[in-house]
Amino acid sequence: MQPQKSNTPTLELCRQEGKPTQLFPALGGLWQFYCVRAEYQKGREIGEQLLTLAQTVQDPALLLVAHDALGQTFHWLGEFVLAREYYQQSIARYDPQQHRSLAFLLGGEDPGVACRSFAASTLWFLGYLDQALPRQREALTLAHELSHPFSLAVALGAAAVLHQLRREGHLARERAEALITLSTEQGILFWGAIGTIQCGWARAEQGQIEEGITQIRQGLIAYQATGAELWRPYFLALLAEAYGKVGQAEEGLTALAEALTVADKTGERFYEAELYRLKGELTLQSNSQSPESPTREAEECFLKAIDIARGQSAKSLELRAVMSLSRLWQPQGKREEARQMLAEIYGWFTEGFDTADLKDAKALLDELCEG
C-alpha cells in the first residue's frame, strides 16, 4: 500500500458506464486513498462496496481482494476477530498462478502476500503468538517467489512489525534494514520510512537508545512527508517507549498525547490499549517524587488499557496491561488481586511461552505466588 491521489472522477465514470470490472479497481484505489489517510470509516464503507460488487458478479479473484481489504480495515479499527475472519477467506481463495495480476487492484501489492502479512499481526493481537510466525514466513516466501518489489516491501515491513510486537529486537532490525535497502533501491518512500522507524525501535531495544530515538524521529519525518496518516499512533508509541528507556518520560508522554489525539480523530484503535498502558508507565516514571496522584492516574490508565484490550479480544495487549497493573498493586497490599488477575489471563494462553511477554508474565506470577 502506498499513498496516491483519489480517483473519484474515475469512480463516477465507471458507475455511469455500469461496468463492474472497471468499477472494482476504481473502488480499490478509493479504498486505498481513504485508508492511507486514516479515514477508516470511509475505507470500511468502500471495502463493503468492494465485497458487494464481488459477490454480485461472483468473481473469485475480486472476492479475494475484497476480503483482504476488509481484513486490513477491521484490523486498523481494532476489530481483530472480524479481521481474522476476512483474512482467512482471502487466504483460502488465493492461488499464486491465477492471481498474479491482481496487485494493481489494491495498493500495488499482491493480495496473497498482503493478507498473509497482515493476518500474522492480527493473530499476535488475538494471542496466537506461534501461529503468527508461519503466516509471516509464507508471506515472505511468496513475495520472493513473485519477484515483485512492492509486495516484498509489504512482507518485510509486516515482518518487522510482528517481531517488534514479539519484542524480538534482532529480528525486527534485520527485517527493517532489509526493507530500507529495498525501498532505497526501488524508490518506495512509504515503506522506507516505516523501515527507518522500525529499525530505530530495534536499536533502542538492543541498547542503542539515543541512536534509536534519533532514527525513529527521522522515520516519522519521512513518513509524514509521504502524506500518510495510517499507523501514526502506533509509530508514536514506539517513540514514547524508547524515550521511557532513557528516563525522558515527559517527552514520551508528549508523544503519547499526540498519538491519542490522532487515534480519537481517525478511529485507529488497534494499538489503543498499549497507548494507555505506556501512558501509565511513563506517568509513574515522570512523577517519582510525588507518588500518590500519579499512582492513581497510572492505575486508571492500566485499567482502561485492560478494558479496551478485552473489548477487542486483544489477549496479548491485555496481558501486558495486567502485568503493569499487577506490578503497581504488588506493593500496595493487593498482591492476591494481582495474582488472580494475572493467573487468569496467563492461563488463557496455549502457545508462545518462549516469547518475552509470556516469560515476563510467568516470572511475575511466580513472584506473586511466593508472596
Q: Is the pLDDT of residue 238 over 80?
A: yes
- Where do the H-state alpha helices sit in the chain? 8-17, 20-36, 40-57, 60-76, 80-93, 111-126, 129-146, 149-165, 169-186, 189-205, 209-225, 232-245, 249-266, 272-286, 292-312, 315-329, 335-348, 356-370
0.75 cut: is pTM over it?
yes
Per-residue model confidence (pLDDT) at position 59? 83
Per-residue model confidence (pLDDT) at position 107? 56
320-to-160, 234, 268, 342 alpha-carbon distances in Å: 20, 16, 20, 10
Per-residue model confidence (pLDDT) at position 111? 86
Q: What is the rounded average pLDDT of the residues 164-176?
A: 98
Q: Is the pLDDT of residue 241 over 90?
A: yes
Q: Is the pLDDT of residue 141 over 70?
A: yes
Q: Going by CATH, does the domain composed of 271-371 fall within 1.25.40?
A: yes
Q: What is the rounded average pLDDT of the residues 94-117?
A: 71
Average pLDDT, the chain: 91
Higher pLDDT, 257 or 286: 257
- C-alpha cell at position 25: 479497481
9 pLDDT tier (thresholds 50, 70, 90) = very low
25 pLDDT tier (thresholds 50, 70, 90) = confident
